[in-house]
Structure 1
Amino acid sequence: MAPAPGVVDRRHPARGRARWLLVVLGVLALLVVTSVMVGSRQVGWLDAVAALGGSLEGFDQAAVAKRTPRTLLAVAAGAALGVSGAVMQGVTRNPLADPGILGVNTGASLAVVVGIAFFGLTSAASTAWVAIGGAGATAVAVYAIGSLGRGGATPLKLALAGAATSAALASLVSAVVLGRNDIADGARSWQIGGVGGGSYAALAQVGPFLAVGLVLCLLSARGLNSLALGDDLAAGLGERVALTRGLAALGAVTLCGATTAVTGPIAFVGLVVPHACRLLVGVDHRWLLPFSAVVGAGLLTAADVLGRVVARPAELAVGIVTAFVGAPVFIWVVRRQKVSAL
């Protein structure tokens, strides 16, 4: 008898996961083509495919020239946020961990706003360095605060510490922006989170950061499986717990910080995507992380397309769409699957 939909075939788990991977890759490809097609001016699907292949003939070049880097940024940012969320949940053993809930996005945002306001940062590479530093400092602070008291860094304490830290840092962002009218409009629109300003230059500058972060996360996949058993048992199995947790956290912070530098803070992608992927492939991080990358890329691309469709001829920023879509989906996943721990 065939396995139920959404469940990995336990008799042939690798075959079932590979089948699901082909499915999600196919859906992502369709979403990428749709993203190039849809906008204030429609582009035929053959022309969209040709544009993605590098051809510049036979279609509305102005529309495609803007949509293609925007689509590639949505794919890269969605993949980064999906993997970052999955790793954060694995490192903290907290099913509610997410760059937004733990305040990492807000820390990166504050660092970028301060850099722009007081140090004149303009390039994507410089803002990426600053954002990664802000994200890393915030992650360390939240983990330290959440570790205080009896029981250490429990999921509830980490979530509360992240929420409090995020609120405090958001107030500081507002304080900096209100005092600088010259950057206020741009900073406010950037804080919503979006991929409309995507360009090949920005992708080229943040691409190395995303690549390094992704490699660190993927190399930590086997160690994250051990950490899921508990620190003591992982150490008994020969896992270097502190090193594994540190490398995985560094990869997640790098992905989150670099993405925030070019898109602004985008919520819920890192929260919803890992839970959805666990329903498809289980909890093995060697499969979970690649799936989170593909599904995260698809989710953010779909959110960007939806934002262009529902508000045509204007558009909704992708950060608004992910908030509307991600919150109810996450609530449904938690209630339906009764996810209480990893």
Structure 2
Amino acid sequence: MSESNTTDFTNPSTFILLGVPGLETAHVWISIPYSTMYTVAILGNFSILLIVKREPSLHEPMYYFLCMLAVIDLALSTSTLPKMLSIFWFNSREIDFSACLTQMFFIHSFALMESGIFVAMAYDRYVAICHPLRHSTILTNYVVAKFGLAAVLRGSMIVMPYSLLARQWPYCRTSIPHLYCEHMAVVKLACADIRLSSYYSLSALLFVFGLDVIFISVSYTHILRAIFSLSTMDARLKTFGTCSSHLGAILTFYIPCYFSAFAYRFGSDIPLHVHVLIASVYLLMPPMLNPIIYGVRTRQIRERLLWLFTR
């Protein structure tokens, strides 16, 4: 009898996503801001892609990286929100075991890819401000493509062990107190020592995101030194304005990301529904805000967007 139960628990056919624990009666109301954010993210990122594709003057490294960011944001939000809405609207909580691990892989790999693109964008701003005469020769289309490919490969290879390790654990529970298959929320259901999964995911987070933040900080240290060396305040403000949208996008991505990652391990005093809401919004907020930030702060995109709407 125990062997049969162990076999069943080792390979559960489905998991149950509980949604927002303690706020089940408010699921319909919670779905309103979530669906609104997703709609804005879809419209905004598709608008960015359309504008850059149709405007030859925007065929530059900065906008190529912005298009990569838009594609990743679309994939990141789409990998989670349809299932969230099915939970909110239809109480459809079941998710296949393999589908859950696949969703886990896509969520975390896209997050790492987005971090890699932010590093590439920081490097682009560094070259544009500190070495403007060499910008076109350093950041060729070939180099931009290599940056994008490196971000994709790095994110996929680092996150692959998440799913491989999660697949091998024996599970004695199948109810996930979350809106999607977040890595730690899934492996905590295992009736085994999951320290390997926990240590690996935490090490990957600290190493990859920490290294990316260091690279971005070094780039902006050089950028700020170049800006403060300019002679007039107007020139400083104008030059810094070309970086402000990138800095805003970085803050909206890394702050909730770090909060979500550390709260599962060290935030035992945080109410579970608060953590679930913030961890879910973290996947929707950057895809929604990035097009708005770049659309408002980037004159070429703003003018082209207004032209499309007025037309």
So what's the TM-score if we normalise by structure 2? 0.34
The structure in which a higher percent of residues are helix is 2
TM-score (norm 1): 0.32
The structure having more radius of gyration, on CA atoms, is 2
